[in-house]
Amino acid sequence: MTHSISSAVAERLSPVACAAAKAQGKRVSVLTAYDYPGARLLEEAGVEWILVGDSLGMVVLGYPDTTHVTLADMAHHTAAAARGLTHTPLIADLPIGTYNDEATAIQSARILLAAGAHAVKLEGGVSHAKQVAALTAAGIPVMGHIGMLPQSVLLEGGYRIKGRTEDAATALVKDALALEAAGAFAMVVELVEPGAAQRIREAVRIPTIGIGSGEACDGHVLVTHDLVGAFPWFHPKFVTPAAHVGESIREAVKNWVQQFV
């Protein structure tokens, strides 16, 4: 079913509203959630927007990257997260292969909205501006994603910092402008050299949400598991865990098991 607060939240996610918030200097906090308790805890903590990221492929489903995540996976976890929310905007990733053209993008996005999302996110700038325009024309709020694109990790042979050269930085600015022109309300800027991230922020009116791109963006997004240490086997270099939930679980269970030895 569609989330009951979709219309109210969609208004908050309009490009006009988001641009006005940016002009006022408002910073945007975004964290990921993949289930009911995770989303509810984030809302109770005051997170501005919640993202059902296809990062669930690694931190929930045990895949090596996001390229194995399906639309069914995303719909399942979006529905679970939506049940934990009462007023916070919920954005869901369109997984790889589900937005190759405009018609497919709209069809895929409607599945995620039916599951409870208020908006969708997709990767790509100039290359996917037509899909963003088609989605927004259909009344579906869209968050863009430029810089390092996790769904392209196999093609690029790893996670690499973007925007290090003048040409690369200029191309990213063009990507950002294309997303804004197509109607996106915000964009993730991932693993972009901080100077280039600053240029992107200054070039567009809508918020830029950084991850691993320095402090020059209008807000930040993290995988919650990285922030709280819930996935202790790996965390990105740009994240300092604020807690060690994984270690706490391991220790608690170890102590419980020892009661029976």
Annotated active-site positions, please?
190
CA distance 129 to 149: 15
| Residue 244, number of CB atoms within 10 A of its CB | 14
The token pair that represents 229 in the structure block:
């240490």
Host H or E run for residue 146: strand 142-147
Contacts of 44 (CB under 8 A, 6+ apart): none
Cβ–Cβ under 8 Å, residues 146 and 175: yes
The token pair that represents 6 in the structure block:
């979709």
| Residue 72, number of CB atoms within 10 A of its CB | 10
